[in-house]
Copies of this chain bind each other. A is one copy, B any other.
Amino acid sequence: MDIRIRKATADDFKTIWPIFQAIVSAGETYPYATTTTQEQGEQIWMNSPMATYLAEFEGKTLGTYYIKPNQPSRGAHICNCGYMVATEARNLGLATTLCRHSQRVAVESGFLAMQFNLVVSTNTAAVHLWEKLGFAIIGTVPKAFDHARLGLVDAHVMYKQLIADS
């Protein structure tokens, strides 16, 4: 598959929204409310982050990620990203492709490391994928996520250094 990853523009959110809504309304991986509107989703995914990217195949949006500093100024050298893949594009390695792309963008943007703040512990596919890509669980917050089916479950803080110590 000849997947193209490019920066998303404001106009692209209409193609991202179905992916966002399907994932958020499932309530199993992201903390955003099940009732998040398209306008709120655009604020979360497009406007608040530093940049948003999308992956497309034959003109169809199959995945997306955002990148932003994880903290203000004195903590802004570590970035945070979130990834979403369309249901019909699962198990094709697209999350891997998106995460590797985001790491390159992070380095080019001057970030030294990447941190995920709320990796839901029951989302084992994600936990294993991030570990395979070099992220480590550096902490686990007890019952940090209210899972739609399972109730309160733990969430991991995961971290990867992107630039080697000099």
Q: Answer yes or no: A55 CB below 8 A from chain B CBs.
A: no
For A144, give its contact among B72, B78, B146 (CB under 8 Å): B78
Shortest CB–CB separation between residue A140 and chain B, in angstroms?
A: 7
CA distance A75 to B78 in the complex (A): 21
Shortest CB–CB separation between residue A64 and chain B, in angstroms?
A: 18
Which A residues fall within an 8 A CB radius of B? 27, 30-34, 71-78, 112-113, 115, 117-118, 138-148, 152, 155, 157, 159, 161
Q: List 26 A-B contacts (CB under 8 A).
A: A27-B74, A30-B74, A31-B73, A31-B74, A31-B76, A32-B74, A71-B118, A71-B144, A74-B146, A74-B147, A75-B118, A75-B144, A75-B146, A77-B143, A77-B146, A78-B144, A112-B143, A112-B152, A115-B144, A117-B117, A138-B139, A138-B140, A138-B142, A139-B139, A139-B157, A142-B159
